[in-house]
């Protein structure tokens, strides 16, 4: 149950962030046309709390960042299920990255994407969301590259409505992504944003096993009694 609806200056962990974020998404609760989609791995614990509080189904949309060779933390783009690829041309130009280098990284990340989809739900490919309202969740948005790829993957499936919901986001990501979605919910957009993890007291790496466990635990949310 939600015990504190206020937004702190920092989040204790992803669980607390998800509980507070759920309070801002009450208008979507218990609707049969709504599904919560998490970006694994870090977005899954956040989305799990949202799905639990709002009694909604939970699934994942696998997206992989394309890191600059030799500086993988810097995203030059991202790929998502359904063959979606987003490239940040300003980064590509600044780092003198060739098309061959992009394709080499993308090919490697496609293999990881397919392997994770098989591990999480037993089959590859994005969940079919045509006509659905999707709450798209991550633990935060810094550059926006991976989230942009996720949104474009959903648009290809002709979803009815996309709500992007994150505990914390940069102003740059907000400016980039808000025009692409139908609803934007972010609890914090701090100045001087550098990394998502800086806004959590506890920010451990989420494992594939944890993702699988949370997805399995979420299967009963929709069937829970109202009360």
Measured CA to CA, the distance from residue 36 to residue 197 in angstroms comes to 22
Give me the helices (H) in the chain, please: 14-23, 43-54, 89-94, 99-121, 145-156, 171-177, 208-217
Q: What is the pLDDT of residue 21?
A: 97
Measured CA to CA, the distance from residue 38 to residue 60 in angstroms comes to 5
Residue 31 sits in a domain whose CATH number is 3.40.50.2020
Q: What is the pLDDT of residue 5?
A: 46
Handedness of CA 205, 211, 217, 221 (dihedral sign): positive
User: Is there a single domain that holds both residue 97 and residue 73?
Assistant: yes
Residue 9 included in any domain = no
User: Is there a single domain that holds both residue 95 and residue 136?
Assistant: no
- What's the distance, CA 159 to chain centroid? 16
Residue 80 sits in a domain whose CATH number is 3.30.1310
- How many angstroms separate the Cα of 181 from the Cα of each of 61, 95, 129, 133, 184? 16, 30, 15, 11, 7
Are 75 and 66 in contact by the 8 Å Cβ rule? The answer is: yes
Are 54 and 82 in contact by the 8 Å Cβ rule? The answer is: no
User: Is there a single domain that holds both residue 84 and residue 182?
Assistant: no
User: Is there a single domain that holds both residue 79 and residue 132?
Assistant: no
Q: What is the pLDDT of residue 53?
A: 97
User: Is there a single domain that holds both residue 98 and residue 132?
Assistant: no
User: Is there a single domain that holds both residue 160 and residue 51?
Assistant: yes
Q: What is the pLDDT of residue 221?
A: 79
User: Is there a single domain that holds both residue 208 and residue 101?
Assistant: no
Residue 7 included in any domain = no
Instruction: Out of 90, 120, 150, pick the residue that ends a domain.
Output: 120
User: Is there a single domain that holds both residue 100 and residue 140?
Assistant: no
User: Is there a single domain that holds both residue 74 and residue 146?
Assistant: no
Q: What is the pLDDT of residue 4?
A: 43
Measured CA to CA, the distance from residue 45 to residue 13 in angstroms comes to 9
Residue 6 included in any domain = no
Q: What is the pLDDT of residue 224?
A: 56
Name the DSSP class of 179: G
Residue 227 included in any domain = no
User: Is there a single domain that holds both residue 131 and residue 29?
Assistant: yes
In angstroms and rounded to an integer, the radius of gyration of the C-alpha atoms of the chain is: 17
Q: What is the pLDDT of residue 1?
A: 32
User: Is there a single domain that holds both residue 33 and residue 51?
Assistant: yes
- How many angstroms separate the Cα of 27 from the Cα of each of 19, 60, 133, 173? 15, 21, 12, 24
Give the domain range for residue 98: 65-120
User: Is there a single domain that holds both residue 34 and residue 92?
Assistant: no
pLDDT means over runs of 10, the chain (227 residues): 58 97 97 96 97 96 91 86 86 93 95 88 70 97 89 92 97 95 96 91 95 91 56
């Amino acid at each position: 149950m939600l015990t504190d609806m206020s937004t702190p200056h920092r989040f204790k962990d992803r669980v607390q962030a998800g509980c507070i974020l759920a309070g801002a998404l009450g208008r979507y609760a218990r609707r049969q046309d709504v599904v919560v989609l998490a970006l694994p791995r870090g977005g899954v614990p956040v989305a799990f709390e949202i799905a639990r509080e709002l009694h909604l189904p939970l699934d994942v949309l696998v997206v992989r960042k394309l890191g600059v060779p030799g500086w993988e933390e810097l995203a030059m783009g991202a790929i998502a299920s359904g063959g979606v690829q987003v490239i940040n041309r300003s980064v590509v130009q600044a780092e003198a990255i060739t098309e061959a280098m992009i394709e080499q990284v993308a090919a490697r990340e496609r293999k990881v994407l397919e392997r994770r989809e098989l591990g999480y739900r037993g089959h590859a490919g994005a969940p079919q969301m045509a006509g659905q309202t999707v709450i798209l969740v991550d633990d935060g948005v810094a550059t926006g590259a991976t989230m942009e790829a996720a949104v474009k993957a959903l648009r290809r499936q002709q979803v009815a409505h996309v709500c992007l919901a994150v505990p914390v986001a940069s102003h740059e990501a907000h400016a980039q992504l808000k025009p692409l979605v139908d609803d934007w919910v972010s609890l914090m957009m701090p100045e001087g944003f550098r990394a998502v993890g800086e806004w959590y007291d506890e920010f451990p790496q989420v494992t594939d096993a944890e993702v699988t466990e949370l997805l399995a635990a979420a299967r009963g949310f929709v069937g829970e009694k109202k009360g």
